[in-house]
Structure 1
Amino acid sequence: MEASLFSILYPLTTSILLIFLITKLLFPKNSSAKYKLPPGPWKLPIIGSMHHLMGDHPHLRMRSLAKKYGPIFHLKLGEVDLMVVTSPQLAAESMKTHDVNFAARPQFLSRKMILYNSDLVFASYGKHWSQLRKICTLELFSNKRVKFLKSIMEEEGHNLVEKIRLADGSPVNVTEMLFAVANTTITRAAFGKEFAHQERFLSTIKETFKYLSGFNVADLFPSLNFLGDISGLKSKLDRVHRVLDVILNEIFQEHERKNANQDRSTDEEDIVDILLRLHKDGGKDVPITMESVKGVILDLFLGGTETTAATMDWAMAELIRHPEVMHKAQLEVRRAMNGRAKITEDDINNLPYLNMVIKETLRLRTPAPFLVPRHSTETVELGGYTIPAGSRMVINVWAIMREQNGWDDAEIFLPERFENNQFEFIGTNYQYIPFGGGRRVCPGINYAMSSMENVLANLLYHFDWKLPGRQNPRELEMKEVSGLSLTRKSDLFLIATPHN
């Protein structure tokens, strides 16, 4: 009986949905005909341009489309108008000239449900965003706070070295170790220590990566609210959200009990302590809700673990492929250390070539090929075309940072290219924007750079590295996998020989 009823209702429901979609999308209320939109590829009913993104990584497909249609082109993804920017000039125009207009974010179902609709990265531009941004800049990632966090980085760098020593000449999974140290460092920075449910928390965070990356049908048809239900996405997001919420509540309760029984200076606070204190004090203009506290904490893990670890992993792979660069970086670190056992903050500040290695890795192997999508609040002109209000925009920084007109030997790993120029991470030169630019530039740049410099300096100082067996370094596989970050497809296994 139940099977028979299902066999009737399922095709009936599907047919009704299909008719609804066709009617809505073949006869839309479309005012874009009066605009001079950027050019773009041909479209199909309902799905629009989605088929043009099939068969390869999105950043590669979009670079190919840019070569055909120009530095800004238009894609129709379901109901969504997406403008894709692939030149530094138009990136500057959008994030500098029209910064306020493009400071808004599109609203995604996954963000609303997992990140409490109250985080910083995806927050709508306004007072709430300004308040959270100020907290991150002045409290969580100020120079003073990062200096305090460097003691954690130094300890974790030392722990990593000791784990590698235990391998005693056997191949070590460098990729796995780099992701582990990135997770442990941010965990200690956020919570003060490792905790009981850490493994479950981190595995759930990893699961959220796939929901926050890529295209979800519910986000491409925002007027059809029921798609999140019938696709099963809402139930998956709700399950992940509940797991994270329970763990975060336990962590917060433990911090409140601990802080009630002892007096601590603000210098000794971890990130949860700071956010709970600000929540208790209340905001001057906008109150800091518990949802905001949780959203910011999740931002730290989603934005500060995989991207950092992936960058270090790409850096080690490129160093293996370029032994002359590896030797030069090792020589710099070892001269600066002069035989001392542990690397400190002062040592890191005297390693300009290592800084160039990281800069070049972020250029050639950026873990974030697109900046977080933006939303046009008003109709504006960009590159001679009209961008209607409500359009979404992404900037293909992967393509920009490999642009042949802007970089000599753009496809070659060459840290020396940064030796005599002033490229910085703060997003003022739009030819080089691995951390974004404008009002939405990443507030955690100092933390990310310090963390990567510390780990890589330890690896280069304490060990000599080579591939197992007779593998040719130049033939090391460098295939990539797209997700929330762009990571290496294969784990990097290396043999570490302790350096005397």
Structure 2
Amino acid sequence: MSFTLQVLIFSSLPFILALLVLKSYISSSSSKNHKNLPPSPPKLPLIGNLHQLGSSPHRSLHAIAQNYGPVMLLRFGSVPVLIVSSVKAAREMIKTHDLAFASRPALSIPRKLFYELKDIGFAEYGEYWRQLKSITVLHLLSHKRVQSYRQVREEEMDLMMEKIQKANESVVNLSGLLASLTNNIICRVTLGKTYDGRRFKRLFARAGELVGCFSVGSYIPSLRWVDRLSGIERKTNQVFKELDEFLDGVVDGHVTRKGDLATEYEDLVDILLDIQRDNRTGFQLNKRMIKATILDLLIGGTDTTSTSLEWAIAELLRHPQAMKKLQQEAREIGQGRSRIVEEDLEKMPYLKAVLKEALRLHTPLPLLVPHESTQDVKLFGYDIPSGTQVHINAWAIARDPSKWEAPEDFKPERFLSSSIDYKGLHYELIPFGAGRRRCPGIQFSIIINEIVLANLVYKFDLASMGEGSLDLSETNGITVSKKYPIMVSATPVNP
């Protein structure tokens, strides 16, 4: 059920009207305790500002911020929600008050899917999260570990290029191929082999969709029953059951095969089991923690990586001059070899500029993963109470006309003379977040995008087939993907 439909269900319930006057002025008459709270748009009884989110919350919140400023306080049901929409406010929040905003809200759907928030993405801030982050950064996604999976990237990329070649210039669904490529790489790296069946892909797609769904009970506890009525609770339980059975099989299979010399390389499940067995970090992992971490890697890595690559290609198809410039760079670097290799990527500034510009215009998670304040904070001159949920509108920040010239235009050249990067140090561009809760998989994702895009334009001339390929309409959810697939005809070229 869509977010809009859910809001219509509970916002039109008869008893809400009966509570109208009561709810309306109990909250407004409860004074602000003389605190200087951020400006707030008018809200409705019980549901607060939920009716204003629409189908694209990042766009709706950006529009509201034009009237109420870069730091505004809304109500999602009974929950105070701070929306941050400027570089200055984001920097103050993440850099100056990073510790105060380092936690995550305990939302009901992630709580169910991620084993009571035992993953790194949604875990509350504390010792458990710090230990798990250390394991992730040092053992799972370190520079050395990412480089060790180069062969996997090359093999899966070559397989995709062969499929395009075999299409013999007929129309191919490039979006589908990119999704399969990303899925295969992440499965092999994480699980040790590919799971390419429709059931597997659909299962993880359903899990990703649920993470982006709105749960009424998380914001209006008295209406928790609406989640049962809408079917979200049932779907979440069913998806969790299927995921848990799958992950049980994966972990048990790795335990059984341990010591098999035929194993090609040590995947991330192997590493987690080694840490569990040897207790090498002094932090005791149990099976639920391992499954939650695996799930984080699978859901968090697959969709966002392929989505970023898809948006970059869509923009290149819409801007032939940029495509031509990137192809020229790739062919100068490739020098007639069979493929561009990863050592070449540092010599391709326009490639990096194209991907930065695509991430700027099409932030995969426009509102990032929500934060939650764990103490009272003074932010941007306003008093922010402990327990406030916080969304950074990274999409709005990346299109701020005071920071970007012609912000709605696709202009990779803007990054050729700029030091701005996406790694969390420049708050104008934070598609992966920043501070303590920055995504630890940046390097893993970006190297896939760079090597695949470089070789696509090196090996083929891509021609859009159908209006859908050039249409930039978005899907709804926590990850904003391209609504229509990219359909292309790919003509092989002699490098």
Q: By the TM > 0.5 criterion, same fold?
A: yes
Q: Which stretch shifts more, 18-27 or 411-420?
A: 18-27
What do residues 72-102 of structure 1 show as CA deviations (whole Å, max 9, x unaligned)? 1111111111110000000011101110000
User: Are 1:373 and 1:393, in contact at CA under 8 Å, matched by a contact in 2?
Assistant: yes
What do residues 43-77 of structure 1 show as CA deviations (whole Å, max 9, x unaligned)? 111111112223x5111111111110111111111
Q: Which position in structure 2 is the counterpart of 1:381? A: 378
Instruction: Name the amino acid aligned to 1:482.
Output: N
Q: Which position in structure 1 is the counterpart of 2:211? A: 212
CA drift of 1:390 comes to 0.8
Q: Which position in structure 2 is the counterpart of 1:3? A: none
Change (3 A) 1:15 1:152: same
Change (3 A) 1:253 1:66: same
> In the TM superposition, what are the counterparts of 1:254-403 in structure 2 within 5 Å?
254-262=253-261, 268-282=265-279, 284-403=281-400
Q: Which position in structure 2 is the counterpart of 1:172? A: 172
Change (3 A) 1:20 1:70: closer
> In the TM superposition, what are the counterparts of 1:121-136 in structure 2 within 5 Å?
121-136=121-136
Unmatched 5+ stretches in structure 1 = 1-13
Instruction: Name the amino acid aligned to 1:212.
Output: V
CA drift of 1:278 comes to 1.2
Q: Which position in structure 1 is the counterpart of 2:445? A: 448
> In the TM superposition, what are the counterparts of 1:85-164 in structure 2 within 5 Å?
85-117=84-116, 118-164=118-164
Work out the CA distance in 1 between the residues paired with 2:44 and 2:15.
20
Work out the CA distance in 2 between the residues paired with 1:21 and 1:224.
15
Q: Which position in structure 2 is the counterpart of 1:189? A: 189
Aligned residues: 480
Work out the CA distance in 1 between the residues paired with 2:246 and 2:173.
29
What do residues 249-284 of structure 1 show as CA deviations (whole Å, max 9, x unaligned)? 1111221121144497xx931011011111222364
Work out the CA distance in 2 between the residues paired with 1:492 and 1:141.
30
Instruction: Name the amino acid aligned to 1:488.
Output: K
Secondary structure of the 1:305 match is helix
Secondary structure of the 1:381 match is strand
Secondary structure of the 1:268 match is coil
Secondary structure of the 1:349 match is helix
User: Are 1:375 and 1:391, in contact at CA under 8 Å, matched by a contact in 2?
Assistant: yes
User: Are 2:216 and 2:224, in contact at CA under 8 Å, matched by a contact in 1?
Assistant: no
TM-score computed with the length of structure 1 as normaliser: 0.91
Identity, % of aligned pairs? 39
Residue 476, structure 1, aligned to residue 470, structure 2: yes
Q: Over aligned residue pairs, what C-alpha RMSD do you find?
A: 2.4
User: Are 1:154 and 1:343, in contact at CA under 8 Å, matched by a contact in 2?
Assistant: no
Work out the CA distance in 1 between the residues paired with 2:223 and 2:456.
51
CA drift of 1:364 comes to 1.1
Q: Which position in structure 2 is the counterpart of 1:64? A: 63
Work out the CA distance in 2 between the residues paired with 1:91 and 1:399.
11
CA drift of 1:35 comes to 2.1
CA drift of 1:239 comes to 1.1
Q: Which position in structure 2 is the counterpart of 1:426? A: 423
Work out the CA distance in 1 between the residues paired with 2:177 and 2:457.
15
Work out the CA distance in 1 between the residues paired with 2:221 and 2:435.
27
Secondary structure of the 2:48 match is coil
Q: Which position in structure 1 is the counterpart of 2:493? A: 499
Residue 52, structure 1, aligned to residue 46, structure 2: no
Work out the CA distance in 2 between the residues paired with 1:38 and 1:229.
34
CA drift of 1:226 comes to 5.3
Work out the CA distance in 1 between the residues paired with 2:193 and 2:144.
20
User: Are 2:24 and 2:44, in contact at CA under 8 Å, matched by a contact in 1?
Assistant: no
Work out the CA distance in 1 between the residues paired with 2:183 and 2:206.
14
Unmatched 5+ stretches in structure 2 = 1-12
CA drift of 1:348 comes to 2.4
Work out the CA distance in 1 between the residues paired with 2:193 and 2:48.
49
Change (3 A) 1:110 1:205: same
Work out the CA distance in 2 between the residues paired with 1:241 and 1:20.
36
Q: Which position in structure 1 is the counterpart of 2:237? A: 238
Q: Which stretch shifts more, 213-222 or 490-499?
A: 213-222
CA drift of 1:467 comes to 2.0
User: Are 1:32 and 1:388, in contact at CA under 8 Å, matched by a contact in 2?
Assistant: no
Work out the CA distance in 2 between the residues paired with 1:395 and 1:386.
17
Secondary structure of the 2:347 match is coil
Secondary structure of the 1:83 match is strand
Work out the CA distance in 2 between the residues paired with 1:15 and 1:466.
54
User: Are 2:49 and 2:74, in contact at CA under 8 Å, matched by a contact in 1?
Assistant: yes
User: Are 2:137 and 2:440, in contact at CA under 8 Å, matched by a contact in 1?
Assistant: yes
